[in-house]
Chain A
């Protein structure tokens, strides 16, 4: 397999006296779909927050390898710099910009790849106009990719739930990431929507050459699309490997089903 794009070394995160993440190490290789699973409250979203700069890990290293090959340590970096490096995420509880249109939501994603400032906006010089046109085109393409181009001028808050999740993916794609972090992308979707999402994720990997790390509770989806699976429980990584290995791992089964028969 090829080199790793995300390399997390023994990170810990404490909140007051509670250790939410305990020595978690994880490795995502280039063009791989990796899944992070675990029971509720296992620390999955905290893990995402730690590697995207929203939280600073208490200890440990988060290293990423952008396309240019230079390894960068991202813990303590501001979220926007992490995104600039090429890691983009979606949120478990959808965080779109509700009173902006669908297209504008995606356009926001291009912000860190574009430059025009106040003067460009007021003067609308050739450069700013060209850039604006390019932003619109790119965003529209991404909407087509996720199948939302019909809703381009609708307000994001008026979209149905499943479509909002797809819009979040399009918005994240607009930041030109090499690693996409999806936080429960299929939550609240019906089987058909989940299936379409699955296709989309695979398409993103195959056509855009992205590496994808996703948190998901839908085991069917996780088992069918991931190349590797990591299991968190009580903030610890209890297992990792291929979907098959993990699903047969007794510790994992115990974590999910509980230790007692009656649980």
Chain B
């Protein structure tokens, strides 16, 4: 870009939505003052009413002022850009374009797959136990995200109690293992089935509800499950949870701690591959299309002959199935479950993986999980700001990029003319 172009771009960024520099400066100063006022008590003052001491943190006020001054320019620019882009057909971002190219050229696609598979398979041997453990938790979120993606991303049903089904799977294994010593591989399908069953049980009555009511009911249900786990001490061991759950065996062979972590990693990886395989096939099938249609317009969908309740129930139950499975794997990995692992926060994290990554997009959800789970792990300094940033990102994504990081792409159907003639002769 030449100098003039750069200058006009800069001008656009700085004065977006305003009448020139003076106006934009004035507005930003006002915004900064407003946020300094707004955050003043909570950011600056900390009181201790017992000791009767007050802690004044004036520096924070300066941070807020400078921060909101700068961000206000960015905010106006993004809003203006969104307005300008409205008329145009959606353009792909750089990452998306690369991905599209990589997946349309067969050799590039194959190459990419081999590289990804190679890294995924070799990971536990290259990285240490600590890294592998982090990776397992990231993989767990990918599996959960992909499962929730069926419900939220494809069928458009906002499920805020997804973690309840995860808890069902985890407790199913924990309890079966504690009482009857049943092994991981037996419970895995049972956990999945229990997830489905709970999904149907909850889904059947509530799926008639409108979208936002559904969100609240699922949230309520999730909390009920957690509270029951916490309070029904006789069965669930209450808040202290269940410890000493068996790790999975490999055809009866038990592993040491180190090997069993690697083994867990591969189990999780296999689960993800299975998930991707299934979701990928589902989303371009008759059922998958019905889910999408339902998400877009319920009335039109019914008028086209789709049974709303049945279709929703399928999505809901299938999503719950994956959560059930992931729950069993989670219990086996940590060898310990307690209700604290299944709070609303967990649901919120899984939801943000899906929303930020890109609703309805498999690649998006994977990218979302990698960014949201791995980045805070490695940037320890930021880890306490993790949820703060998640929340803010969710808002920003909804406002500026509702399709998420990597948007879902629809399948391109190529139609062979020769078969048209054949079909016409039928």
**Which residues of A does B touch, CB under 8 Å?**
52-54, 78-80, 83-84, 88-89, 91, 95-101, 103-104, 107-109, 111-114, 116-118, 120-122, 124, 128, 131-132, 135-137, 140-141, 144, 149, 152-153, 155, 158, 171-172, 174-175
Contacts and interface: CB of A to CB of B under 8 A. Distances in A.
Contacts, number: 132
B278 interface: yes
B61 interface: no
B296 A109 contact: no
Given A80-B305, A121-B282, 16 more contacts: A54-B303, A80-B303, A96-B300, A99-B292, A99-B408, A100-B293, A111-B305, A112-B304, A116-B285, A122-B277, A132-B286, A137-B419, A137-B420, A140-B415, A140-B420, A172-B304
A165 to B, nearest CB: 14
B318 interface: yes
A153 B412 contact: yes
Nearest to B283: A121
B210 interface: no
B387 to A, nearest CB: 30
A116 B281 CA distance: 13
A120 B314 CA distance: 14
CB-CB nearest 10 A-B residue pairs? A112-B305, A121-B285, A83-B305, A95-B300, A97-B296, A79-B302, A137-B423, A108-B293, A153-B412, A97-B293
Contacts of A122: 277-278, 281-282
B306 interface: yes
A107 B304 contact: no
B225 interface: no
Chain A binding surface SS class: helix
Interface string B265-301: 0000000000001100110011111101100110111
B311 to A, nearest CB: 9
B297 A121 contact: no
B415 A121 contact: no
Most buried by B among A96, A104, A112, A141: A104
A120 B303 CA distance: 24
Nearest to B288: A121
Given A83-B303, A112-B306, A118-B314, A124 B281 contact: yes
A108 B277 CA distance: 23
Given A95-B297, A108-B293, A52 B305 contact: no
A80 B289 contact: no
Contact of A98 (B278, B296, B303, B305): B296
B285 A128 contact: yes
Contacts of B296: 97-100
A118 B304 contact: no
Interface in B295-350: 296-297, 299-308, 314, 318
Contact of A116 (B286, B306, B424): B286
A84 B292 CA distance: 20
B92 to A, nearest CB: 13
A136 B415 contact: yes
